[in-house]
Structure 1
Amino acid sequence: MSENLNQVKLSQWDALLVESLRALGWSNEEIIHKVAEGDLPVDESEYEFDYKQLTTLQAEQPELFEQAVKTGYQIKYNTIRGIRSWIWVALGKEAELELEEGKEAIEMVLTTAEKNRLESVLSFGWQIHGGAGVEDDASANASYRIEPIQR
């Protein structure tokens, strides 16, 4: 997977915060406006998100924050559990972790559109395998494996 130099970079946690607001049904404009105003929900999920961190990011780097929300972002550094969390928060899907040393991976079924979205945010050093034969159908489900690039 190649690094997208045009996308802004967000921390894994900031990306989860943005995606959790999207999961509440907030539009891009609502996210930008409400974060700037500090009009933020209290998160009662297992993650206990504190959205004040996004208000700080927005205040310190408003252009970066707005671009990340409106046009997308790439995560600076992913962990395997962080990828699983992003998939759950952003896509609403449970991913299966394989944690055997040297064979760490995430396995799951995604549509081609979901796979493309995940691929666009993954940090450098991760790759997605699978889905052969479904690339032309954005709604087709296929099994994928997300794993670190082995050097």
Structure 2
Amino acid sequence: MIAHNKEPVTLSQWDALLLESLRNLGWSEDELLRRVHAGELPADDSQFQFDYSRLTELAGSHPSDFEQAVRQGYRIKYNTLRGIASWIRLALGQEPQLLLEPGRESVICAFHAEEHARLASVLSYGWVVRKDSSASTEEKTVYLIEPLIRG
């Protein structure tokens, strides 16, 4: 019998940011799932001003997909440069640099191997993560996150 790897659940970039923001509250996966399903969610006073009721709607309409996203991870359907930078801030607690020069747009950040793997696992198709060996340190490697095809 051949085991099939199930594709990860896909979330919108905004839903992924909402989820990562809630993870920062330190709740267990079970607590996060319970609170989202029950609509017992905090008011957000961050720069994002998240309205977490969106996740309650998502969990209600697609409960198994939402649980899989929380417990096993997800892939983002479509990323933007600023969205990637926001995800890195929320999910990895890092402050990335945005390069917005036309034709060279990218997000630059230093990661440990496990942080790099986590980012690579969630990015939507159409993005590449490559090492910037000129800027790496002994502890972390600097990466450029760029569009696969430049317009």
Q: Shared topology, TM-score over 0.5?
A: yes
Partner of 2:16: 15
Which residue is 1:96 aligned to?
97
Task: Quote how far apart the aligned CAs of 1:26 are.
Answer: 1.3
SS at match of 1:124: coil
Correspondence for 1:135: none
Q: Which has the larger radius of gyration?
A: 2
TM-score by length of 2: 0.90
Q: Is the 8 A contact 1:12 1:78 kept in 2?
A: yes
SS in 2 for 1:150: coil
Q: What 5-or-longer segments of structure 2 have no aligned partner?
A: none
Q: Which residue of 1 aligns with 2:34?
A: 33
> Partner amino acid for 1:89?
L
Q: C-alpha root-mean-square deviation of aligned residues, in Å? A: 1.7
- Deviation of 1:11 after TM superposition, in Å, equals 0.2
Instruction: Give the letter aligned to residue 49 of structure 2.
Output: E
TM-score normalised over the length of structure 1: 0.90
SS in 1 for 2:34: helix
Is this contact kept in 1: 2:108–2:143, CA < 8 A? yes
- 2 CA distance for matches of 1:110 and 1:44? 27
CA distance in 1, matches of 2:140, 2:30: 31
1:70-129 CA-partner distances (Å, limit 9, x unpaired): 000000000000000000011111000011111100111111110100000000000100
- Give 1:6 shift: 1.0
Opposite residue 142 of structure 2, the aligned amino acid is S
Consecutive unaligned residues of structure 1, counting only runs of 5 or more, are 133-138
Cross-structure match for 2:78: 77
Contact residue 19 and residue 90 of structure 1 kept, 8 A: yes
Structure 2 CA distance, aligned partners of 1:49 and 1:143? 30
Superposed CA offset, 1:40-67 (max 9, x none): 0111000001000000000100011000
- 1:1-151 equivalences in 2 (<5 Å): 6-130=7-131, 140-150=139-149
| Stretches of 4+ aligned residues off by more than 2 angstroms | none
Structure with more contact order per residue of length (Cα contacts < 8 Å, sep ≥ 6): 1
